[in-house]
Amino acid sequence: MRILIVGAGGHGQVVADILLRMKDRGGQSFPVGFLDDAEALHGNHLLGLRVFGEVARRKAIAYDALIIAIGDNLVRQRWYRELSDQGEKFTNAHHPGAILAPDVGVGLGSMISAGVIVNTGARVGYNVILNTGCSIDHHCQIGNHAHVAPGARLGGNVVIAEGALIGMGAIVLPGCSVGAWSRVSAGAVVNHDVPEGVTAVGAPARVITKHSRSGSK
């Protein structure tokens, strides 16, 4: 399967590296290059892969599926919806160094980085980022377009709703939930439910701001 990566920034290059590692391990999928609307990147080569040009140019390239490699959850969601509406197919990037229990379900368009652990009974939505070295314990639910940042730790039966961001090194204790499009800051410890549309910081985590940012059309 020939894969085009939407986004050629740092996150896009991480996704490219994951796909290259998959190919090295005998996988049938491989990256053919990047798409990015930033004109300054066009024609560059990153990890040996060309930045072909803006996303609209993809029809001139031979490929079988896309993966959206953009760290911002709302932007990633917008592209996923727009490209889905245009009939595009998506695939996953799953680093060979990640460990997933056999019964874990992962939606299309998701990225699972090196060192990630996902335990039994967990469900991961589509267009999700599970970033480097994070751990997802048993029976967690990760909503569509969410991002669990490097080194974050989720206890058992945690629910992360659509579009939520769990910051680097944050901890969500067992049974807690984080609402849709909320942000848990780096290093925070969530010991109670976090409502939707807020930013929570500290240990224990406390809400400091509410915001209107959401994934609604």
N-term to C-term CA, the chain: 31
Catalytic status, residue 95 = no
Catalytic residue among 11, 42, 45, 138: 138
7-39 per-residue burial string, b: 16 or more CB within 10 A, e: under 16: bbeebbbbbbbbbbbbeeeeeebebbbbbbeee
Q: Which of 151, 192, 187 is nearest to 170 (CA)?
A: 187
Tell me the one-letter amino acid at 75. Answer: V
Three-state SS at 21: helix
Indicate which residues carry an active-site annotation.
Answer: 138
